[in-house]
Structure formats: structure tokens, C-alpha cells
Structure 1
Amino acid sequence: MTQHTFESAFARLEEIVEKMNQDAIALDDSLKLYEEGDSLIQFCAKKLQDAETKIETLIKNRDGELVMGDDKRPATQEFSPPKNGAAQ
């Protein structure tokens, strides 16, 4: 597989889904697309997990210490996008 960014891998996954939804696709082609899609899904999942881990480590309290949850993992916060596109 060529080097992908998350965005390019996701775009390729969308193309694969579109192709696989066509009625006139050969079985061998479907299998190849499925294998490629599976590989891309694993790649995207790893990228998302890595991003989540990085974000968790950036959540710190005012003393600069990492805030740990009861489960001894870095604390996370729910993402709340700004309302009406305004910065908060």
C-alpha cells in the first residue's frame, strides 16, 4: 500500500464502497477491493487511536500535571464544537 494520510485513506475507502455498491462488479474485483478496504480501515483506526492518545496526554491541569482518571488512564473531555461557528 502506498503511504496515505488519514484523509486520503478515508477518501479511498469511500471510492471502494461506491465501487462495491455497483451491481456489475466481478467477484475477484470485489475481493481485491475488500482486502484493500480492510487494510485502509485498520490504517484509519490506528491513526485515530494515535490521535486520541496524543490528545489525552495534552489534557493537563493548571499545575501542568497530567490529569488521571479513576482507571489510571489520562482523563479525556468531550469535544463540544463552538456554537454557531464562533470561537469560545
Structure 2
Amino acid sequence: MSKELDFESALAQLEQIVRELERGDLPLEKSLELFEQGVRLSRECQERLSEAERRIEILLQDANGRVFTSDLGARGLGESGTGEEDGRDADEDDIPF
């Protein structure tokens, strides 16, 4: 992916390529060209997703380097973000830093 092409644009291009290939009415050479372009876009999108995941893991590490995870949907946080609405106060173990 070139620097000018953001993730969303690359993904949209990949989706367009898939639609064109699924139609099945392209000449072989054009199909191969699109397939190669799609593979490149797919790999580059995956690399960007992996990089984003690594960045998120770094941001969510606690002081000991362990990755802090939380299922906000199951517990839910109040507007203050303290966890008070679930009947308990947030403590230092709930905060990733």
C-alpha cells in the first residue's frame, strides 16, 4: 500500500477487486493481474492491522509489562469511567497504568 492510500481506501479497493473477480467474466490475464493486486492489498492491510494490534497492546500494558484486558461490555463503566455502577469502586488493578 502506498503512503497515500489509507487502510480504509485499501480495503475498499480490495473489496472492489473481489467483486470483479467473482463476476467471472474477465479474461485470464486481467483476472491474474487483479488477483495479484488483491493479494498485495490483503497482505498490506493485514500488516497494518497487526501493527495497530501491537500498538494497542503496548498502550494497554500495566507497569509490569503484562497486557491489561477488560471486557467493557460485560461489566460496563459508568459515565465517570470508575466502574461504580456495577456496585464496586474501581481500584488500581482496574487501571492499566
Unaligned runs of 5+ in 1: 69-74
Offset at residue 24 of structure 1 (A): 1.4
Identity across the alignment (%) = 32
Offset at residue 60 of structure 1 (A): 3.3
Cα pair 2:21 2:31 within 8 Å, conserved: yes
Query: How big is each residue's C-alpha offset from its partner over 1:9-46, in whole Å with a ceiling of 9 and x where there is no partner?
Result: 10000000000011311100000000000100111011
Q: How many residues align?
A: 75
Which one-letter code corresponds to 1:77 in the other structure?
A: T
Offset at residue 67 of structure 1 (A): 3.5
Asked which structure has the greater CA Rg, the reply is 2
Cα pair 2:14 2:38 within 8 Å, conserved: yes
Q: Is 1:17 matched up with 2:9? A: no
Moved over 6 A (4+): none
TM-score computed with the length of structure 1 as normaliser: 0.71
What is the root-mean-square deviation in Å for CA atoms of aligned residues? 2.4
TM-score computed with the length of structure 2 as normaliser: 0.65
